[in-house]
Amino acid sequence: MLTPATAERIVQDILHQKFGFFPVDRTLVDEVSGQWLAFVQRRIKTGDAADWLFTNEGEEESDVGLVVKSGETHQYGQYDHKLLFQNSVRLRRQLARKDLAAADWVFLAQHRVLMEHVQRVELRLLEELERLTGESGIVGSVIRSALKPIPYAMSTLRALVYQAVAGQKGAQKHLDRGFLTLHSGDVNGRLVYFDGPDDDSPKPIDVPSGYGVAFPGIKWLWVFAGKYQPLWHGAEVTSDGERVAHPYFSHVELCGYMVRDFRAALQDFHSTFLPLMQQGQYHWRMA
């Protein structure tokens, strides 16, 4: 577990440099990465990827379980070429009724162990964040979003694979939709950051071995009224192989607002919420 001094240093880095490195159990991460690639191979072999996709109550897009993106165009541009798996209470409830192969249960169990490992680090960091900023209610809100699916605000560990396809570019410049992301286990790729939305020069984040990187998503703007900024970032594929990574997305529930898309949310924050906050007429916590 993190010592108080380590937790404080990581949170100070996140507040002032927009990212910080946290220690992670590398053996566990490597184990889950192997299980995850084998899980994807089984889906390709059996052709049952669609059976692993679920929709959260109150959402329009399906993003629980296994999601396959193949460069399709959408409202704001084009999806990456990737497969992702998102764990949740709802997914486990749905799967409990199915007759799964033993190897699939092993993957689900291992993935959950990694999720709980990262959640413990995260909660420690969030306690420290509350202490350093004086902003209360973050820990409680994040725990609620992990235990009960809230539309567009599900805290979850995502297993990610960027396939080795022609034109694979990794992830384009974006903000995460959540509050805090804890990203670990990057293989054949790396995160890059940008100084802001207008910066087009990606700068690599060199994560030390045995560490993951934690950084703020867009909900940071609501919680800190724009005082601290989220990290503009993307990802590069650094070799011809498949890129694997395990980001954990944590959410807080925002009073009266759901973040469906980061671009629209950024606009809404500046045009509606920030002016209200400056007049003392809005606070992110639910009443």
Q: Give contact residues for Fe ion (rule: CB under 5 A).
A: 176
Nearer to Fe ion, 126 or 235 (CB): 235
Nearer to Fe ion, 149 or 247 (CB): 247
Nearer to Fe ion, 122 or 176 (CB): 176
- Shortest separation between residue 65's beta carbon and Fe ion, angstroms: 19
Give the residue at shortest CB distance from Fe ion. 176
- Shortest separation between residue 95's beta carbon and Fe ion, angstroms: 26
- Shortest separation between residue 267's beta carbon and Fe ion, angstroms: 19
Question: Helices (DSSP H) in 134-214: which residue ranges?
Answer: 138-147
Nearer to Fe ion, 43 or 251 (CB): 251
User: What percentage of the chain's residues is helix, strand, coil (to nearest 5)?
Assistant: 40, 25, 35
Residue 20: beta bridge partners?
A: 214
What φ, ψ does residue 244 adopt, rounded to 5°?
-115, 140
- Shortest separation between residue 160's beta carbon and Fe ion, angstroms: 10
Please, what's the b/e burial string for 231-268 (b: 16 or more CB within 10 A of its CB; e: otherwise)?
Answer: bbbbbbbeeeebbbbbbbbbbbbbeebebeebeebbee
Nearer to Fe ion, 176 or 186 (CB): 176
C-alpha dist (Å) from residue 279 to 10, 133, 137, 272, 286: 32, 20, 21, 11, 18
- Shortest separation between residue 191's beta carbon and Fe ion, angstroms: 8
